[in-house]
Amino acid sequence: MNRQIRRLGVAMVMLFVILFAAVNYLQVYGASGLANNSANPRTIVQSFAIHRGEILAADGRTVLAKSVDTGRKLRFQRRYPQGPLYAHTTGFFSLKCGISRLESTYNDYLDASSNDLLGSTLSDLILNRPKRGASVITTIDPKLQQIAFQELQRAAPNGGAVVATNPSTGAVEAMVTIPQYDPNELVQPNLRRQAHACTRLTDAASDPLLSNATDQLYPPGSTFKLVTLSAALENGMTLQSTVPNPSELPLPQTRLKLHNFGGEHCAGGAPRITLEEALIESCNVAFGGLGLKLGPQALFDQATAYGFDRHVPFDIPFSEGHFPAPSEFNDRQPAVAFSAIGQFDVGANPLAMDLVTSAIANGGVEMEPHLVREIRGPDGQVLKSFGPSVFGQPISPQTSRDMTRAMVEVVDSPNGTGSAARIPGVTVAGKTGTAQTSSGAPHAWFTCFAPAENPQIAVTVVVLNGGNLSSDATGGRVAAPVARAVIEAALGRR
Active site residues: 222
Provide the residue count of the chain: 494
Could you give the C-alpha distances from 204 to 40, 198, 441, 490, in angstroms and in order?
29, 10, 22, 34
**Other Cβ atoms within 10 Å of 59 Cβ, number:** 12
- C-alpha dihedral, 274 to 278 to 336 to 219, nearest 10°: 160
Is-contact 479 350, C-beta < 8 A? no
376 by DSSP, 3-state: which? strand
Is-contact 195 96, C-beta < 8 A? yes
Could you give the C-alpha distances from 238 to 135, 187, 241, 330, 412, in angstroms and in order?
49, 56, 5, 28, 20
Is-contact 321 305, C-beta < 8 A? no
Beta partners for residue 56, in sequence order: 63, 137
Is-contact 131 51, C-beta < 8 A? yes
**Other Cβ atoms within 10 Å of 397 Cβ, number:** 12
Rg (CA), the chain: 27
DSSP-based helix, strand, coil % in the chain, nearest 5 = 45, 20, 35
Is-contact 225 431, C-beta < 8 A? yes
- φ, ψ of residue 369 to 5 degrees: the values are -75, 145
What is the rounded distance in angstroms from the CA atom of residue 258 to the CA atom of residue 288? 8
What is the rounded distance in angstroms from the CA atom of residue 293 to the CA atom of residue 285? 12
Detail the DSSP E strand segments found in 227-340: 242-244, 248-250, 257-259, 272-274
